[in-house]
């Protein structure tokens, strides 16, 4: 099986296991999705979803968040970790969107990457989920780990991993492979002690073939 066929097989099998989902983050507007995704760095979506109801109730848009007291933002988002840095970034992003983009989140990769705290992962999620634009593949720690174990990439750098996955995955499946690998990483392919005996793709996984006696070929 060549690498492209392997990739498509992995996607199809994981689609049978995990229900259709675009993102686990709760939001109502593109701006709220952007803020929630920035907050998700170095924490879980579950933790982000615990703080955003109060955050978005008090500061639902760029205008209100740009004028918010930064100490109040810090208080609300503290459970997500690195709250001082994140609060400053949220204020900066809100101010830029409010002043430069008249309150509307930009819809291009180049413009999103100019915002403080926004990398390709965040930009890809916002473009795909909020605007239906497919410009790349969001690579987080789960995508990095699972794609490497399966053998879809040998790179460690997220941008190089993204390029590898974009090369071997049909463009219409780019959003699918990202969320499927994330879900699989959260539920089965743990960083420590992955549940290979429960994995539906173990027979085509390089890690399983290398580490498990049952998987050696």
Which residues are part of the catalytic machinery?
121, 140
Q: How far apart are CA 95 and CA 115, in angstroms?
A: 10
Distance of CA 192 to the CA centre of its chain: 20
């Amino acid at each position: 099986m060549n690498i492209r066929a392997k990739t498509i097989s992995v996607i199809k099998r994981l689609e049978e296991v995990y229900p259709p989902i675009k993102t686990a983050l709760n939001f109502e507007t593109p701006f709220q999705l952007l803020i929630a995704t920035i907050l998700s760095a170095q924490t879980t979506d579950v933790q982000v979803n615990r703080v955003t109801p109060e955050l978005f109730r008090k500061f639902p848009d760029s205008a209100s968040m740009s004028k918010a007291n930064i100490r109040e933002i810090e208080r609300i988002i503290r459970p997500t970790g690195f709250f001082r840095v994140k609060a400053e970034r949220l204020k900066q992003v809100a101010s830029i969107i409010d002043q430069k983009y008249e309150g509307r989140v930009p819809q291009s990769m180049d413009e999103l990457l100019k915002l403080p705290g926004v990398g390709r992962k965040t930009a890809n999620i916002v473009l795909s989920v909020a605007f239906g634009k497919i410009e790349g593949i969001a690579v987080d720690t789960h995508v990095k780990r699972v794609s490497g174990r399966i053998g879809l990439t040998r790179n460690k750098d997220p941008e190089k991993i993204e390029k590898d996955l974009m090369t071997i995955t049909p463009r219409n499946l780019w959003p699918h492979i990202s969320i499927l690998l994330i879900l699989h990483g959260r539920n089965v392919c743990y960083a420590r002690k992955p549940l290979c005996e429960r994995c539906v793709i173990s027979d085509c996984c390089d890690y399983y073939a290398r580490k498990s006696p049952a998987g050696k070929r």
